[in-house]
Amino acid sequence: MTSPAMTAALSHPASRAGGFETYRSLCELHRQAGTIGSISALLNWDQETYMPHNAAAHRSDQQELIARLHHEAITSPRLGDLLAACEADRELTADPIIAADLREMRRDYTRATKLSSDLVAELAKVTSQAQEVWKEARSRPMGSAGLGKSGDFAMFLPSLERVMELTRRKAECYGFASGGELYDALIDEYEPGATARMIEQTFTPLRDRLSGLVKSLSSSHRKPDESVLRERIDPARQHEFGQQVLRAMGFDFNAGRLDTTTHPFCSGMAPGDTRLTTRYRDETFTDALYGSMHEAGHGLYEQGLPKQQLIAGLPAFGRPLASSISLGIHESQSRMWENFVGRSREFWEWCLPIAQRTLGGSLTSRSVDDLYHAVNTARPSLIRVEADEATYNLHVMLRFELERGLISGDLPVKDLPGEWNARVKSYLGLEVPDDRRGVLQDVHWSFGLIGYFPTYTLGNLYAAQFWETINQQIPDLKAQMQRGDFLPLKTWLNTNIHTHGRRYHAGELCQNLTGKPLSADPLMRHLEGKLRPIYT
């Protein structure tokens, strides 16, 4: 919980002169840079939602210019001089809040100044163009030989090769520790301090444990009935239903919105402005439900960050202490709401009557157990964002291995579909029918988000470990969820995770909250404890 000292430090008045005025100037430059970044985020949100197709060429020019301006702002010599002066001021660094802010500002400045504005601008332009090519390639028919199939990786190949080339250049500029590898520089952008070797050491034993669990469940004679999920429901009613769930979770629609896109995402672009997106299809209404809950978990984190508050007496927006710790922690929030809440029996005890009223159809004759068992079916599937909890991390591990090969050069981009399909067969036992349901299913590589995927599994691990602590500290949490009272859970997350911004590193926060370093054991206890009773 937040201590009285922490609360005071977040809002104490700016009473010091001299060094504090230097710090004030430094924070103002970060606020200005944050505002430029929020413009880029707004342009990207528009491109992924409502932008006309023919606007794509000019949008890439806009993103190129904004990226250049943002990079020049965060690498300006004046910002560097102010930062150095603040670091040399003992009175400032004696304040633990300011010291943490300066520590993270230094990290950001050091990384940013390793890149040229030309490279940053070119990456922004190329990835903006690649996003549009990806959309078209993903939906393009495979031709007469692939009747009913879609996705054309060959169309996307030149764009992806260019994105990978620029991303390698970026990684080379960042550099990596002796004994490491180029991919480490990219992972560190999303999960500070993590390396490919560390992730491999976590993923390998986890993969074996997950594979064993999935194999055991698959051999069970009792299988959940998934027919309840095959009800065809109009997307407009699904949208209304999802909004009711998100409001109950505590997402503030006066400070955000929910729209549709090709690949769902959340953008916490500015104070009071957090945008969520989802996607609908007539069948399997829970895909949209859980996609929306997942993005709303991200959204609650963004709305819970102190962007509109004062930290050390100064406006927080744009500063590290008003931004998220890491994508692993960010994903812990989305996966917690999606899975630990949304796939619980208690959630459906509250939510089923709402679903029956809003969605109708055969749901009106279904029971809580029908829904609870159906949404917890463990069955290998092709699409990561639609995967169940037991198999989801296998999708992530596959992408981690492919990215590692792409960045090292061991895997040529042109060979990506074949390697993808082979690993899906090996890990999930499935044949990939087309590129849309294979290598083109994720938007991340068109954005240049290389090194992002491992954070999804790290998020699952953090979520499970946090969840055990939350249940210890909120003993009646299950009863609250049965009533649809999610405020105590949201408050716990706001108080213990969101409000700190980047004051703590991810591993430090985990140790502080749970008393233990990150471990796979809580996740396996969660999966075993929930899934085995359903299958026996």
> For residues 274 and 300, what is the distance between their CA atoms, to the nearest angstrom?
9
Residues 6+ apart with CB under 8 A from 110: none
Report the candidate in 184, 180, 154, 160 with the shortest Cα–Cα distance to residue 170. Answer: 184
Q: Rounded CA gap, 48 and 131, in Å? A: 9
d(CA 259, CA 338): 18
- Cα(236)–Cα(256) distance, rounded to whole angstroms? 19
* Own/partner long-range contacts of 526-533 (Cβ < 8 Å, ≥24 apart): 526/340, 526/464, 526/467, 527/210, 527/213, 527/389, 527/390, 528/213, 530/343, 530/376, 531/213, 531/217, 531/376, 531/378, 531/389, 531/390, 532/217
Decide if 457 contacts 442 (C-beta within 8 A). Answer: no
Task: Please say if 468 is a catalytic residue.
Answer: no
Cβ distance 328 to 459 under 8 Å?
yes
Distance CA 49, CA 84 (A): 41
**How many alpha carbons lie under 13 Å from residue 141 in its C-beta half-sphere?**
6
How many Cβ atoms are within 10 Å of 508's Cβ, its own excluded? Answer: 13
Give the burial string for 215-243 (b: 16+ CB within 10 Å, else e): eebeeeeeebeeebbebebebebbbebbb
DSSP state of 324: -
Neighbours of 45 (CB within 10 A): 21
Annotated catalytic residue: which of 104, 132, 295, 346?
A: 295
Q: Which two tokens stand for residue 421?
A: 């399909």
Instruction: Cite the active site residues.
Output: 295
